[in-house]
Amino acid sequence: MEEIIFPNQIRMFRRLRGRSMQELADHLSVSLSAISKIEKGYRRVDQEQLVRVAEFLDCPLQDLFVNEQNSQQEIVQVWRREQERRNKINEKTGLKTLGAGLRQIRNEKNLTLIEVAESADMTLSVYHRIEMGQREVSEKEMKNIAKALNTSIDELKAEIKALEDKGMLEEIIQRNDAKYKLLSTPRGAISTFGSTNPDGLKISVYGTAGQDGDVIIDFNQETKKVQRPANLYGKKEAYAVNLCTRRLGVLLPTRSVLFVDPQDVVSVGDIAIYYTSETNAKILSIREDENGQLYGIRWNPDERIEIGNNDLNKLHKVVAINL
pLDDT tens for 204-220 read 999 999 999 999 999 99
Q: Which CATH superfamily is domain 1-65 in?
A: lambda repressor-like DNA-binding domains (1.10.260.40)
pLDDT (0 to 100) of residue 82: 58
Give DSSP secondary structure letters for 187-214.
Answer: BSS-THHHHT-TT--EEEEE-EE-GGG-
Element (H, E) at 274: strand 271-275
User: How many Å apart are CA 87 and CA 279, to the nearest integer?
Assistant: 47
The DSSP output letter for 63 is: G
pLDDT (0 to 100) of residue 309: 79
**Residue 96 pLDDT more than 60?**
yes
Domain boundaries 88-182, corresponding CATH code: 1.10.260.40
pLDDT (0 to 100) of residue 33: 86
pLDDT (0 to 100) of residue 51: 83
pLDDT (0 to 100) of residue 254: 73
The pLDDT-based confidence of 242 (bands split at 50, 70, 90) is very high
pLDDT (0 to 100) of residue 143: 92
Q: Return phi, psi of residue 287, to 5°.
A: -130, 175
- 131: burial class by Cβ within 10 Å (0-12, 13-18, 19+)? buried
pLDDT (0 to 100) of residue 145: 94
- What are the residue ranges of CATH 2.10.109.10 in the chain? 202-322
- What are the residue ranges of CATH 1.10.260.40 in the chain? 1-65, 88-182
pLDDT (0 to 100) of residue 114: 82
Q: Which CATH superfamily is domain 202-322 in?
A: Umud Fragment, subunit A (2.10.109.10)
pLDDT (0 to 100) of residue 7: 60
- Inter-residue long-range contacts of 308-316, CB under 8 Å, 24+ positions, other chains counted: 311/274, 312/266, 314/274, 314/275, 314/276, 315/266, 315/272, 315/273, 315/274, 315/286, 316/260, 316/261, 316/262, 316/266, 316/272, 316/273, 316/274, 316/275
Q: CA 286 → CA 25, 32, 126, 252, distances in Å?
A: 21, 26, 27, 15
Express as a percent the part of the chain with pLDDT over 70: 77
- Count CB atoms within 10 A of the CB of residue 134: 22
Q: Are 144 and 153 in contact (CB under 8 A)?
A: no
